[in-house]
C-alpha cells in the first residue's frame, strides 16, 4: 500500500507541521504533497521526504506571498 501525506503549505514549523513531522516518522517512504514548500523552512525529518508542490510554487511571488493566490488553491489542490 502506498501512503501520501498532504499539507496545505510548508513554510515554517508550527502546529500542523509538528503533526506532519510525527507522520513522517511513522511513514518514512511516504511522499508529501503541498501547495508551496520553502526549502529548509521545516524540520530535517520533513525535508528528507520527497515533496511535490503545486503550480502556485512557480507563480511570481509564489513562495513568499502565496496567500495572494487564494482563489487558485482549489484548482491547485
Q: Tens of pLDDT along 13-59? A: 998 999 999 999 999 999 999 999 999 999 999 999 999 999 999 99
What is residue 60's predicted lDDT score, i.e. its pLDDT? 92
Extents of the domains making up the chain: 4-76
pTM confidence score: 0.87
The residue to which cell 513568499 is assigned? 64
Burial category of 60 from C-beta neighbours within 10 Å (exposed 0-12, middle 13-18, buried 19 and up): exposed
What is residue 61's predicted lDDT score, i.e. its pLDDT? 86
Torsion of CA 29, 34, 39, 41, to 10 degrees: -100
What is residue 23's predicted lDDT score, i.e. its pLDDT? 96
Nearest to 53 by CA among 66, 71, 44: 66
CA-to-CA distance for 77 and 69, rounded, in angstroms? 12
Give 76's strand partners.
none
Amino acid at each position: 500500500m502506498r501512503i501520501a501525506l498532504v499539507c496545505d503549505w510548508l513554510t515554517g514549523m508550527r502546529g500542523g507541521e509538528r503533526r506532519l513531522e510525527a507522520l513522517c516518522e511513522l511513514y518514512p517512504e511516504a511522499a508529501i504533497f503541498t501547495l508551496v514548500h520553502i526549502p529548509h523552512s521545516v524540520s530535517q525529518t520533513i525535508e528528507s521526504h520527497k515533496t511535490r508542490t503545486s503550480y502556485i510554487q512557480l507563480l511570481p511571488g509564489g513562495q513568499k506571498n502565496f496567500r495572494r493566490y487564494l482563489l487558485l488553491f482549489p484548482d491547485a489542490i
